[in-house]
Amino acid sequence: TEGALAWIAALRRRGRDGAGLSLAIAAADSGKAVGCISLLVRAAGMLARWALADAGMERVEALVEPGNVASLRVVEKAGFVREGHLRALLDLGPDGRRGDAHISSRLRTDP
């Protein structure tokens, strides 16, 4: 619908402007979109700290498309360390296209 397309366009603008990060949540078995989540830098950092301190995780990863500069900034500002470039990791759609991703992480032992 027109309203949904306008909402998606607004989320993309926020990402390009560095004002926030919006992500789709997909079902693991089908890849079908089932929801979304939007994070600001502060929220991304808080979520990572919670996962590492309270949820008992040792490592939290962020995968970001290389061209998504705003999301790369959010991840970096949230304390994640870029580790590398993963080729053809991302499934970009039903036509079989694949995309690269930068991987960054925060570890429980990080400051």
What pTM did the predictor assign?
A: 0.64
Do residues 2 and 21 lie in contact, with contact meaning Cβ atoms separated by under 8 Å?
no
Amino acid, res. 15: G
Alpha helices, H only, 18-98: 41-53, 69-77
3-class SS at 89?
A: strand
- Residue (of 67, 74, 25) closest to 48 by Cα position: 74
Per-position pLDDT tens, the chain of length 111: 566 677 677 777 777 776 666 767 677 788 777 666 666 888 888 888 988 999 888 998 888 889 888 889 889 999 999 999 999 987 776 777 888 989 999 999 998
